[in-house]
Amino acid sequence: MHGQNYSLWSLLKHGFKHHKTWEPAWRRVPLQPSYDVVIVGGGGHGLATAYYLAKNHKVGRIAVLEKGYLGGGNTARNTTIVRSNYLWDEAALLYEHSLKLWEGLTEDLNFNVLFSQRGVFNLGHTLQDMRDIERRVAANHLQGIDAHVLTAAEVKEKIPQLDISRSRRLPVLGASWQPRAGIAHHDAVARGFARAASRLGVDLIEGCEVTGMDIAGGRIKGLQTTQGYVKTERVGCVAAGHSSMLGRMAGLRMPLESHPLQAFVSESMQRVIDTVIMSNAVHGYLSQSDKGELVIGAGIDGYLGYGQRGSPHVIDHTAAAIIELFPQFSRVRMNRQWGGIVDVAPDACPIIGKTPVRGLYFNCGWGTGGFKATPGSGHVFAHTIAHDEPHPLAAPFALDRFTTGHLIDEHGAAGVAH
Ligand code: FAD
Ligand code: PYC
């Protein structure tokens, strides 16, 4: 993540040797004793929140506190699928808001986030899968989201490598297809938001873990950190799988479970797959990175935990599923496997908004699907913190839905089996 950047144009103009305008990736600054707003968690969502706060709202001095290095959590570990084809209006409109921001993000940040709209296929293997696909695509049309139902033959035309033979254990009967969906580069997204936020004056503090919260009279007053005490009256927590631990510091029991979720990549190969293929029924999904690696993701581990690796049987199952869809990949060598910790809410939807503690806001519960939401999540969370009122798109995702009962069940459209 560290290093320096320069434009090709200025290099051509001035040459490498005499180049005078090297711009550091972001400003290195020490933690200050007080800030107007502190964001806890320097993943994509935290950095995006800080960027949109600084860009769109006048809230004074902002810091992002990150216990490790910027973008080193789930942002670094995910398989980068971006899409908005969710079922329910609340979720679909939020993810579509995000997808629209993705479409202009490289220009907005002046940093190439390598967003590639190569389309996403969600395969159906049973009659019930196909009924669910038809229902979701019909909902997407009403929401103004691009979506198509394809037959098996139409899928085969677009992905000739896919085995659609009826003799398969779970034959492909068809798919939903979102052409505007795709992938982006995980590190570039974190880096782009970090640089742009830093340029707007946000302090980005790495190696700074929040260890306690100072709350008096029902209001947040400051944070204890491994680099000392910080005074602040507005705190946004964006800590993904570690959100329940931050909640506990504020005396809140968050309705979240932390689960391992795994992925693995192959050796680099020539381009063989130019789209994204997902299947919840066989528990695997696949794309190919710009480096040529097959990027393969698994279903969620059933048990709870914080070990960033996951169970071997889950990844075995996924390898089998991918070989079932693409028998020719059985000979490809795999290079790396890893896990991240995702925070899953009971209705598979995020929690965005205020808490019972005044000035303390949470943005979490994105589970297996938060990468695609990075710009949208930061955008609506920044608004929520700045106005002390939920952004209209964030309002349905308030924490109090677990007491009012206004849950939004997105398990079916989560993209990853859980
Ligand atoms: P993170 O990037 O995890 O950032 C949170 C940060 O908070 C971390 O850097 C952490 O160090 C920091 N932190 C935690 N506690 C503290 C503390 N006390 N003090 C200071 N800092 C703290 N989503 C998709 O949309 N598409 C996908 O294809 C996809 N694939 C995935 C594949 C895998 C294997 C995994 C694990 C996840 C996947 N996801 C996907 C989900 C996605 O990665 C997450 O929802 C998203 O990255 C969350 O972003 P974030 O910025 O909230 O979290
Ligand atoms: O939500 O699309 C998704 C997704 C893909 C892989 C993990 N999550």
Which residues fall within 8 angstroms of residue 9, CB to CB, at 6 or more apart?
Answer: none
What token pair was written down for 382? Answer: 């920044």
**Among 408, 39, 37, CA closest to 210:** 39
Spacing of C-alpha 216 from chain mean position: 33
Pocket (CB within 6 angstroms of ligand 1): 40-46, 65-68, 72-75, 77-81, 209-210, 238-240, 242, 246, 261-263, 297, 340, 342, 366, 368-372
CA of 118 to the centre of ligand 2 (A): 15
Distances (CA, A) of 41 to 235, 246, 393: 11, 10, 22
Structural domain contains residue 123? yes
Write the residue with the smallest CA distance to atom 5 of ligand 1. Answer: 239
Tell me, yes or no, whether 133 and 59 share the same domain.
no
CA of 254 to the centre of ligand 1 (A): 17
Tell me, yes or no, whether 101 and 198 share the same domain.
yes
Residue 366 DSSP class: B
Question: What is the Cβ-side half-sphere exposure of residue 195, based on CA atoms within 13 angstroms?
Answer: 22
Three-state secondary-structure class, residue 331: helix
Sheet holding 360-364, edge to edge: 203-205, 62-65, 37-40, 235-237, 360-364, 351-354
Tell me, yes or no, whether 191 and 333 share the same domain.
no
**Among 413, 337, 315, CA closest to 369:** 413
Tell me, yes or no, whether 62 and 190 share the same domain.
yes
Q: Which of 315, 342, 369 corresponds to the end of one domain?
A: 342
Q: Specify the pLDDT at position 175.
A: 98
Sheet holding 120-124, edge to edge: 148-151, 174-178, 120-124, 276-279, 284-288, 293-300, 257-268, 334-344
CATH code, domain carrying 302: 3.30.9.10
Of ligand 2's listed atoms, the one at least distance from the Cα of 120 is 2
Structural domain contains residue 202? yes
Rounded to an integer, what distance in angstroms lies between the CA atom of residue 337 and that of residue 303?
A: 19
CA of 132 to the centre of ligand 2 (A): 17
Q: Give the number of the ligand closest to the Cα of residue 48.
A: 1
Distances (CA, A) of 155 to 151, 159, 330, 351: 6, 6, 21, 35
Q: Specify the pLDDT at position 306.
A: 87
Tell me, yes or no, whether 381 and 397 share the same domain.
yes
CA-based torsion, 93, 105, 412, 278: positive or negative: positive
Q: Give the number of the ligand closest to the Cα of residue 120.
A: 2
Q: Specify the pLDDT at position 2.
A: 38
Q: Give the number of the ligand closest to the Cα of residue 372.
A: 1
Three-state secondary-structure class, residue 372: helix
Among 177, 279, 371, which is best to mutate for testing ligand 2, by the most ligand atoms less than 8 A from CB? 371
Structural domain contains residue 8? no
Q: Specify the pLDDT at position 4.
A: 42
> Residue 273 belongs to what domain range?
117-180+257-342
CATH code, domain carrying 61: 3.50.50.60
Q: Specify the pLDDT at position 414.
A: 72
CA of 309 to the centre of ligand 1 (A): 14
Write the residue with the smallest CA distance to atom 47 of ligand 1. Answer: 75
CA of 225 to the centre of ligand 1 (A): 20
Structural domain contains residue 4? no
Q: Specify the pLDDT at position 13.
A: 52
Q: Which of 290, 315, 342 corresponds to the end of one domain?
A: 342
CA of 273 to the centre of ligand 2 (A): 17
Tell me, yes or no, whether 238 and 279 share the same domain.
no
Q: Give the number of the ligand closest to the Cα of residue 344.
A: 1
Farthest CA pair distance, the chain = 66
What token pair was written down for 150? Answer: 């394809």
Q: Which long-range contacts (CB under 8 A, 24 or more apart) does 132-141 make?
A: 132/412, 133/174, 133/175, 133/176, 135/87, 136/85, 136/86, 136/87, 136/176, 136/412, 136/413, 137/85, 137/176, 139/87, 139/88, 139/89, 139/92, 140/85, 140/92, 140/178
For the chain, give the number of residues.
418
Q: Give the number of the ligand closest to the Cα of residue 237.
A: 1
Tens digits of pLDDT across the chain (418 residues): 333 444 555 545 545 444 444 556 899 999 999 999 999 999 999 999 999 999 999 999 999 999 999 999 999 999 999 999 999 999 999 999 999 999 999 999 999 999 999 999 999 999 999 999 999 999 999 999 999 999 999 999 999 999 999 998 889 999 999 999 999 999 999 999 999 999 999 999 999 999 999 999 999 999 999 999 999 999 999 999 999 999 999 999 999 999 999 999 999 999 999 999 999 888 899 999 999 999 999 988 988 988 888 899 999 999 999 999 999 999 999 999 999 999 999 999 999 999 999 999 999 999 999 999 999 999 999 999 999 999 999 999 999 999 999 999 888 777 776 5
Structural domain contains residue 349? yes
Q: Specify the pLDDT at position 5.
A: 45
Tell me, yes or no, whether 326 and 187 share the same domain.
no
Structural domain contains residue 7? no
Tell me, yes or no, whether 141 and 235 share the same domain.
no
Structural domain contains residue 75? yes
Pocket (CB within 6 angstroms of ligand 2): 79, 81, 83, 285, 297, 368-369, 415-416
Q: Specify the pLDDT at position 199.
A: 96
Give residue for tokens 């391992």.
Answer: 260
Q: Which of 294, 327, 342 corresponds to the end of one domain?
A: 342
Under a CB-based contact definition with an 8 Å cutoff, are residues 146 and 179 in contact? yes
Tell me, yes or no, whether 192 and 172 share the same domain.
no
Tell me, yes or no, whether 204 and 310 share the same domain.
no
What residue type is assigned to position 147 of the chain? A
Tell me, yes or no, whether 292 and 412 share the same domain.
no
pTM of the predicted structure, to 2 decimals: 0.94
Q: Is 48 exposed, middle or buried (0-12, 13-18, 19+ CB in 10 A)?
A: buried
Structural domain contains residue 63? yes
Write the residue with the smallest CA distance to atom 40 of ligand 1. Answer: 369
User: Number of structural domains, the chain?
Assistant: 2
Rounded to an integer, what distance in angstroms lies between the CA atom of residue 241 and that of residue 261?
A: 11
Under a CB-based contact definition with an 8 Å cutoff, are residues 238 and 45 in contact? yes
Tell me, yes or no, whether 278 and 336 share the same domain.
yes
Write the residue with the smallest CA distance to atom 37 of ligand 1. Answer: 78
Q: What is the DSSP string of 131-147?
A: HHHHHHHHHHHHTT---
DSSP H/E element including 47: helix 44-56
